[in-house]
Structure 1
Amino acid sequence: MPESDTDDADAELPESTVERAERLTRLARDAVDDSEAEAYRDERADLLADHGFRARIRDDDTGATLVLYPEEWKEDGTIRPERIEDTGRAVEISLSGPGDPDEWDEVDEHNRGLVAQVREAHGDVHGDNASAFADFMSNHYARPMDSATSGEVEEFLGEYFPRNAWPSKEQRAVVRESIDLVFEAADE
C-alpha cells in the first residue's frame, strides 16, 4: 500500500508512519548483522523525526513494547513522565506475542489486500501462497503479514504451510519468493 500521511488527518503521527516504524523495528530486531540493524534503526529515526517523534523499546514482564513519543518529551537525555501533560500523544506497539484480537477484521482486511496485490502482480501460485500466509498471520497472531518476524516466517514455512495449506508442487517450489513478494507489496 502506498504510504500516505493523509490516512488520518487528526493523528499527530499518521498510521502509515506508525506501521512503517513498527516494521523497521522488527527488521532491526531480527537482523543478523549489526550494521543492517543500525541501518533499519536510522531509517526509523529519520521517518519519525519528520513528525517530531522518537522511538524507544521498553522491556518489562509482558515483553517488548515499541514506544513512539514526541521529541520534546526528552529533556537532557531523560523523559520525565510527571512533566508530560498529555501522555496519550505516545503510541505503544507490543513487539511480543500476538496482536489485538479485537482488531482482527482490520488486520485480515489489510492482509487480504496484500494477497490481492501479490496475486494481481505475480499470478495465482504466489497469490495462493500469500493467502496461506495471510491465514496464518491473521488467525494465529492477529497481526499484519508485513509485521511478521523471521521466526514467525520460519514457523509458517516449516510447520503451518506444509500441514495446513495443502500446497501444490509449484507452490512449495516458490513459497519463499512468495513471502518476499508480500513484503515488497507492503513496502510499495
Structure 2
Amino acid sequence: MSESNGSESTDARDDGADSAELPADVVEEAERLTRLERTVADDNEATAHAKRREELLDNHGFTSRIRDDDGDDVLVCHPAAWIEDGLVRTDRVEDTSRAVEIPLEGTGDPDDWNEVDAHNREIATVVRERHGGVHGDNAAALADFVGNHYAKSIESLTAEELAEFRTEYFVRNAWPSKKQRTVIDESIELIYETVGEAVPGE
C-alpha cells in the first residue's frame, strides 16, 4: 500500500484544500526545493535542496518520497510515523488524507521555471543596456542566484534573501571584479528601479 492515492490524499492544487497538518506554505516550499533539486546542475546544490526540504518537513513530523505514477513523478509528503525501516507500515496509516501529493511533471505543473529564469535574465539584459556592463554583470549574478537557489522572480525576493545574495553568494560565488564589488549596492538599486519596485527591506 502506498502512502496515499489520488482519490484520498490531499492535492496541494485544490482550491481551499486543507493539508491536514502540513501548512500550505510548507507544501509550497517543499515543492520549490524539490524542483530545484531536480533542475540544478551541481550535485552538492541538489543535495542541499533535498536536505532543506527534509528538515522543513521534519519540523512538522513529516517526510517525503518521490512516487512513480505511470511514468510521471509525484512528490508525496506524509507523516514520518508511517515509515519504519524505509517502508510504509500500513497499520500506522490511520488517515490517508494527511498525505499531500504534488505532481512534478506534465501539463499540470503550476509554474514554468524556465519562464521565471528567462524573466530574471531579461531584467539583467535591460540593466546592462541602460546602465552598462558592470551593473549588467551584477544583475546577471543576481539572476543566477535567484534561479539556482530560490526559483522565483527577482521582484519576489525577501529582504533576507537579498541580504544572502549580497553578503554570501555575491562574495563567494559570483567572482566579482573590483568594479563590481564597488558598485554592487548601486546595482541592486538600479535592478529594482528597472522593475519598478522598492529594494526589499528599504
Q: TM bucket by the smaller chain? A: 0.5 to 0.7
1:51 equivalent in alignment to 2:60: yes
1:22 equivalent in alignment to 2:31: yes
C-alpha RMSD of the superposition: 3.7
- Within 2, Cα distance between the matches of 1:62 and 1:187? 34
Correspondences of 1:75-86 after superposition (within 5 Å): 75-81=84-90, 83-86=92-95
Partners of 2:20 and 2:97 within 8 A in 1: no
Letter of the 1:54 counterpart: T
When you count helix as a share of all residues, which structure comes out higher? 1
**1:36 maps to which of 33, 37, 45:** 45
Report the TM-score, using the length of structure 2 for normalisation. Answer: 0.50
1:13 equivalent in alignment to 2:22: yes
Q: Once the 2 structures are TM-superposed, how far is the Cα of residue 98 of structure 1 from its aligned partner?
A: 2.6
Aligned to 1:103: none
What secondary structure does 2:66 align onto? strand
How many corresponding residue pairs?
Answer: 126
Correspondences of 1:93-108 after superposition (within 5 Å): 93-99=102-108
Rg larger in structure: 2
Uncovered stretches (5+) of structure 2, i.e. residues with no partner: 1-16, 130-135, 159-202
- Within 2, Cα distance between the matches of 1:12 and 1:46? 16
Letter of the 2:37 counterpart: A
Aligned to 2:75: 66
Partners of 2:20 and 2:98 within 8 A in 1: no
Partners of 2:75 and 2:104 within 8 A in 1: yes
Q: Once the 2 structures are TM-superposed, how far is the Cα of residue 61 of structure 1 from its aligned partner?
A: 1.7
Aligned to 1:114: none
CA deviation map 1:29-75 (0-9, x unaligned): 11211111110011111100100000111123241100001000002
C-alpha change, 1:83 and 1:178, in structure 2 (3 Å) is: closer
- Within 2, Cα distance between the matches of 1:34 and 1:92? 25
- Within 2, Cα distance between the matches of 1:80 and 1:40? 27
What secondary structure does 1:96 align onto? coil
Letter of the 1:69 counterpart: H
- Within 2, Cα distance between the matches of 1:89 and 1:11? 5
Uncovered stretches (5+) of structure 1, i.e. residues with no partner: 1-7, 100-140
- Within 1, Cα distance between the matches of 2:81 and 2:27? 18
Partners of 2:143 and 2:154 within 8 A in 1: no
